[in-house]
Amino acid sequence: METQDKEVLGFGFLPGEGEHHFLVTIPPKSEDDSVYMSEHFEWDESDERRELHFALGKNDSKMRVVLPRLKWDEIAEATKAEFNRRLRKEGELTGQWQTGQVPVARLFGKELVLLAWAIEDADPAKIPTAIRNWRGLAPEERWWLFTMTNAATGHAVTGRDKGWRKAVRYALTENPVSGSDVESRKEMDFGLFRQG
């Protein structure tokens, strides 16, 4: 099936191929100063039902991180560029961050939440370092770090600023990587969308 025949939502999410995904909820700036990232194992095609589930469950187990909008604004372009670069490489449609709910493919969601965890309690001046270090990790390293962190401290509220979440913050914000290290790692893509 060609890309044009597939229903691709947000950043690489294909509900026809698997329902596990993340939702990035970006409220209008006048209504809320936070961006919400949640993990879902089922896809609900109804916008109204997704919005209702979000409204009822901001503190439920699906919510992974609540990020201040100012910090979101610092990482939005870098994450969009990274995900779209990889989507283009695989011949897939690219995505955009926009007001409302943006579905994100399962693996991209893990990477995005990892970066958000790193900066949620960090000094804003360290966000560029976090982005460089995040880019310096191979996607598989990001997935592994997400999995370990999520298992122990994955809840948006109760997991904040402890254990693995705190370790991720220090690892990405306190350990600057040079630009050449990041560029050499970009060559290590492992075919995120290739099938057997």
12-40 pLDDT, tens digit each: 999 989 999 999 999 998 878 999 999 99
Alpha carbon 30 to chain centroid distance? 23
DSSP β-bridge partners for residue 34: 68
- Taking the CB of residue 46, how many other CB atoms lie within 10 A of it? 9
For the chain, the structural domain boundaries read 3-185
Write the pLDDT tens digit of every residue in 117-138: 999 999 999 999 999 999 999 9
Banded model confidence at residue 47, pLDDT cuts 50, 70, 90 = low
DSSP-derived secondary structure letter, 41: S
Contact 17, 5 (CB under 8 A): no
pLDDT of residue 13: 96
Provide the token pair at 148: 């370990």
Is residue 87 scored above 60 in pLDDT? yes
Question: Which amino acid is it at 88?
Answer: R
Q: What is the pTM assigned to this prediction?
A: 0.83
